[in-house]
Chains A and B, each alone.
Chain A
Amino acid sequence: MTQTMRQFKNGIIDQNPTLVLLLGLCPALAATTTMMNAAGMGLTTMAVLLGSNIIISSLRKLIPAKVRIAAFTVIIAALVTVADLLLQAYFPALSEALGIFIPLIVVNCILFAQAELFAYRNGVVRSAIDGLTAGMGFLAALIAVAALRELLSAGTLFDFRVLPEAVPEIAVMAQPPGGFFALGLVIAATQAVRKRGKARETV
């Protein structure tokens, strides 16, 4: 398995930032009431993560270790503000739906974890791939949680009706407790998949 393949597997399954490392749980709970919101949040975070990883890895030799956290904060905050303005200008509906959660990407732990553990120690290309894969992992986690929540609370996926009307809707899944239920189920499923994968490797 090449290094790039391994990076992809790590980002999406083995070290999925949300489902395995349990980072960035706030947006995973708050922005997953519908799949639309989850996709918007996941894609925006992915774009910011890709940008911050590229910028931080290319400036890593200039940034002194003592002020790296401040430097990361400035870079990530600027990127998030730019992303927020672009969303407001070009995707107003998404911007309205996600509201406060876009500015809150600034304090998303995934961005800092990836900057500190990867981008500050690796080259630009590797860091770009890392940002992409971690972002994909985050996006996949949000989509999975949101699919569960939207399906059970409204019987729809991406606003398309999937379940027949007769199936009772579970209102709590759209509310904050439902976020924890769905996230717990998705984390359990990921662990099961990883365990099976490991068992196969040892055999």
Chain B
Amino acid sequence: MNEDFAEAVSSEEATPGASAPEETAAEEAVSAPDGKPEPSPGGKYSLVKQTGRLVNSGILFLLPGLRALRAAGQALLAAGRVLLVAGRALRRFFKKDSAPNLVLVTALLAVAASAAVSLAHTVTEPRIEARQAEAYASAMGTVFSGEDLRFTQSSLAENIYEGRNEEGRLVGFSVLVSARGRAGTVRMVVGISTAREVTGVTVVSHRELGDLTEIKKRGAEDALASLGGGMLP
């Protein structure tokens, strides 16, 4: 079958190739009256034959390439069939309502959701921490009544700040503490005097139910006020 194809191609190619040189040869014969030796009919014939041979050899030269192309095509087709079968199997396996697909989709969604949340966390974390630091800083003085203090980081611990009055005398410590509430962290500042007495407690931030426990919150505020502190938000 392969050879038939090649023959058909070569014969088709050869016919027009053979007729064209014939014409050019005739033209040459007409335009050469000036004593040039006229080409013999045999020469003319041999020219045609030679051109035909040339064309043929060109086709023959192309033939291995065509064969390789054909083989490549067949290989591609076979690979495509394998892929198709594999794809169908996969499709059956991951059909919209098949168990593996349910797991796959849910897992992918969970991964995407976690990625989104962690991205938002990375973006907002510095700002949220800065806000908390600000809130802490503004709450530090509230636990010492009556005095205008300046606070500096203590060498005792990271969450302890030393409060000094205008003369530079140490008056007490503001301790930043946090505790787990029912809904998130409750952050507080506790004031401790140099006489080791609690001078006040201020709640800096909390996420407990606000409105529903309004009365309880007020109770807490009174209690904090009696300690010499208060509630910030």
- Contact check, A75 vs B113: say whether CB atoms are below 8 A apart: yes
Shortest distance from the beta carbon of B180 to any chain A beta carbon, whole Å: 15
B residues within 8 A CB of A190? Answer: none
Which residue in A67, A79, A88 is a CB contact (below 8 Å) of B105?
A: A67
Interface residues of A in 91-108 (CB under 8 A from B): 92, 96-97, 99-100, 103
Q: Quick check: A85 and B105 within 8 Å, CB to CB?
A: no
- A86-B97 contact, Cβ under 8 Å, with A30-B212, A74-B109, A100-B208: no
Q: Is B210 an interface residue (CB 8 A)?
A: yes
A97:B214 contact, CB within 8 angstroms:
no
Complex alpha-carbon distance, A99 and B203, angstroms:
14
- Docked CA distance A77–B183 (Å): 16
A176 in contact with B212 (CB, 8 Å) = yes
Residues of A within 8 A of B112 (CB): 78
CB pair B212 A86 closer than 8 Å: no
A97 vs B206: C-alpha distance when bound (angstroms): 10
Q: A22 to chain B: closest CB distance in Å?
A: 21
Question: What separation, in Å, do the CA atoms of A89 and B112 have in the docked complex?
Answer: 22
A85 x B121 contact (CB < 8 A): yes
Say yes or no for B193: interface residue by CB 8 A criterion. Answer: no
Whether the Cβ atoms of A85 and B124 lie closer than 8 Å is yes
Q: Does B67 contact A (CB under 8 A)?
A: no
A residues in contact with B96, CB < 8 Å? 64-65
**What interface size band does chain B fall in?**
20 to 34
**B contact face: mostly helix, strand, loop, or mixed:** helix
Q: How far is the CA of A66 from the CA of B131 in the complex (A)?
A: 43
Q: Which residues of A contact B208 (CB under 8 A)?
A: 99-100
* B138 CB, nearest partner CB in chain A, Å: 12
Is A89 touching B207 in the complex (CB atoms < 8 A)?
no
- Judged by a CB distance under 8 angstroms, whether B89 is at the interface is no
**Is A117 interfacial (CB-CB < 8 Å)?**
no
A71 within 8 A of B: yes
Of the candidates A66, A81, A85, A175, which one forms a contact with B128 in the assembled complex, judged by CB atoms under 8 Å apart?
A85
**Shortest distance between the CB of B50 and any CB in chain A (Å):** 67
Q: How far is the CA of A31 from the CA of B121 in the complex (A)?
A: 25
Q: Are B211 and A96 in contact (CB under 8 A)?
A: no
Decide if B131 touches A89 in the complex (CB within 8 Å).
Answer: yes
Partner of A63 from B105, B121, B211, B214 at Cβ < 8 Å: B105
Q: Is the CB of B106 within 8 A of A67?
A: yes
> Is B101 among interface residues, defined by CB-CB distance under 8 A?
yes
Whether the Cβ atoms of A81 and B120 lie closer than 8 Å is yes
A30-B102 in contact given A81-B120, A85-B121, A96-B233 (Cβ < 8 Å): no
- Report B-chain residues with C-beta under 8 Å of the C-beta of A66: 97, 102
Q: In chain B, residues 202-221, which have Cβ atoms closer than 8 Å to a Cβ of chain A?
A: 205-212, 214
What B residues does A62 contact at CB under 8 A? 105
Chain B positions near chain A (C-beta within 8 angstroms): 96-97, 101-102, 105-106, 109-110, 112-114, 116-117, 120-121, 123-124, 127-128, 131, 183, 205-212, 214, 233
Pairs of residues from A and B, 9 with the lowest C-beta to C-beta distance, nearest first = A78-B113, A89-B124, A89-B127, A82-B120, A96-B233, A85-B124, A67-B102, A85-B120, A99-B207
Interface of A with B (CB < 8 Å)? 30-31, 33, 59, 62-67, 70-71, 74-75, 77-79, 81-82, 85-86, 88-90, 92, 96-97, 99-100, 103, 175-176
Additional 17 contacts, C-beta under 8 A, given A59-B109, A63-B105, A100-B208: A31-B211, A33-B211, A65-B96, A67-B102, A67-B106, A71-B106, A77-B113, A78-B114, A78-B116, A78-B117, A85-B121, A86-B120, A89-B131, A99-B183, A99-B209, A103-B183, A175-B214
